[in-house]
Amino acid sequence: MSKSENRKGFTSKLGVILATVGTAVGLGNIWRFPYIVGENGGGAFLIIYFFCLLFLGLPVVLAEFTVGRRAQSNAVDAYKKFSNHPIWSRIGYLGVLAGFLIMGYYAVVVGWTIDYLYEAIVGNLQGHTPEAYTQLFAELSGDTIYPILLVIGVMGLTCYIISQGVQSGIEKVSRFLMPMLFLLMLGLAGYALSLDGAYEGLHFLFYPDFSDVTARTFLDAMGQCFFSLSLGMGCLTTYASYFKKDVNLPKTAVQVISIDTLVAIIAGVIIFPAVFSFGVEPTQGPGLVYVVLPNVFQKMLGGQILAIMFYALLFIAALTSIMSLLEVVTAYVHEKFNLSRTKSAIVVTILVIIMAIFASLSCGAMPELSLFGKNIFDIFDFISATILLPLGGMAISIYAGWIIDNKILYAEFAKNNKYSLNLFKAYAFILKYIAPVCILIVFIGSFI
């Protein structure tokens, strides 16, 4: 029996949506999106971002879905099946390597989130000065042992989930966590809209002021599109390999992108009314979640409960994302080296923990762990997000647009739907000409 026949896929269309949305929804939506919007002027960025989703995100998501379901294999083997030239198998390797490196620092950030959730529960995030919150985060990120123990806990939990398989692990956990995530978000958004500064926050988020738009705004919008949707990481290709044949790929792609974007916008609705209500600048950058928001929460009525809800939300989003990253690498090791799923997950987890130890130590305890002026944490981030993801995404769009036979592409596109041939031609045109150029611009622009 072939590997593809032995693979157990998702049991239902709801499972497909929840698990795949869990892949996309992560720190990119709740942590990164609000501060990127804040740094780029609010509503104008949002409009540009929507165009990036339509002309860049949707075609590449659909391309990954097509390759994954058609190939029914891990991210590396999937790209070998439609071309005999060995160069195209490198696309899968880019995704596996990117996922591996991202986990090396992502696990550290998830560990920080767990600590903040604990501190919120016991009430330690209340009653501090703004300077004290900066010091609290510096002490956490600069500690030697504690962040590493958090990483081991995070990866141990993720390893257990992945070792249970697609149906009993990924799908089962996603069915539980994703509804909880949406309930937490709606509760926090409802509270934020009741604050005195809600109008100013919503005005900033949705009112387009194009006077602040620069070339950097377009680059950030395209980069955020990539980061938020997990493009080029192999996650979508791997998850699509577990899709059943009755899954409507274009419809699923639209649903995943829509829900992912909705989560990001709700995150903005939670954060911007809060920061405007308490006189905080929205252009606070990456420290918004770990330094600025704790100070905002303590000023709110019921601030401790709100802080608990927010960091629980952040943890859920981060956990579902790191699950998908571990699945990409585990699936490759499992099928490439013929190890059991459990052994594959354990091997990959141990390697990730080793990487994460160096990433964590480089943030404070051992700053000498650096290269070219960047610490290990930032190097993992730079190589994966700035180099591997754009290259992988560009290669995927070229591969789907130029290498895969159009008959195969159309067969997957048109299966179980009534979309017209003209719509498919528009999709194929974007894959061939528009998406590769846009991604190349992001790649070059990130170095300028």
Q: Would you call 375 helix, strand, or coil by DSSP? A: strand
- Coil, strand, or helix at residue 72? coil
How far is the first Cα of the chain from the last one, in angstroms, to the nearest whole number?
A: 51
Q: Which of 70-79, 215-224, 240-249 has the lowest mean pLDDT?
A: 215-224
* CA separation for the pair 341, 278 (Å, rounded): 49
CA 22 to chain centre: 9
- Give the pLDDT of residue 283: 56
- Residues 167-179: what's their mean pLDDT? 94
Res 138 pLDDT > 70: yes
Quick one: average pLDDT of 258-284?
84
User: 3-445, which class in CATH?
Assistant: mainly alpha
Q: pLDDT class for 441, splitting at 50, 70, 90?
A: confident
Q: Are 380 and 104 in contact (CB under 8 A)?
A: yes
The total of other beta-carbon atoms located within 10 Å of residue 401's CB is 22
Distance CA 343, CA 345 (A): 5
> Please, what's the b/e burial string for 26-48 (b: 16 or more CB within 10 A of its CB; e: otherwise)?
bbbbbbbbbbbbbbbbbbbbbeb
pLDDT exceeds cutoff 70 at 282: no
Q: For the residues 317-338, what does the mean pLDDT come to?
A: 94
Place of tokens 């929460």: 297
Distance CA 400, CA 370 (A): 38
**pLDDT category of residue 445 using cuts at 50, 70 and 90:** confident
What are residue 126's phi and psi, to 5 degrees? Answer: -105, 150
Q: For residues 94 and 237, is the Cβ–Cβ distance under 8 A?
A: no
| Structure confidence by residue, pLDDT tens digits, 354-401 | 999 999 999 887 888 888 888 999 899 888 888 888 889 899 999 999
pLDDT at site 431: 93
Which among 140, 100, 110 is positioned nearest to 31, based on CA atoms? 110
* Domain range list for the chain: 3-445
Whether the per-residue pLDDT at 71 is higher than 90: the answer is: yes
Q: Return d(Cα 179, Cα 6) in angstroms, integer.
A: 30
Band (pLDDT 50/70/90 cuts) for residue 421 is confident
Mark 383-400 as b/e (b = at least 16 C-beta within 10 Å).
bbbebbbbbbbbbbbbbb
Q: What pLDDT, in 10s, does the model give residues 181-196?
A: 999 999 999 999 998 8
Give the angle subtended at the CA of 238 by the CAs of 421 and 55, to the nearest 5°: 40
Q: What is the pLDDT confidence band of residue 277, given thresholds at 50, 70 and 90?
A: confident
d(CA 299, CA 424): 52
Give me the residue label for tokens 């971002």.
Answer: 49
Give 170's DSSP letter: I
What pLDDT is attached to residue 68? 95
pLDDT of res. 284:
56
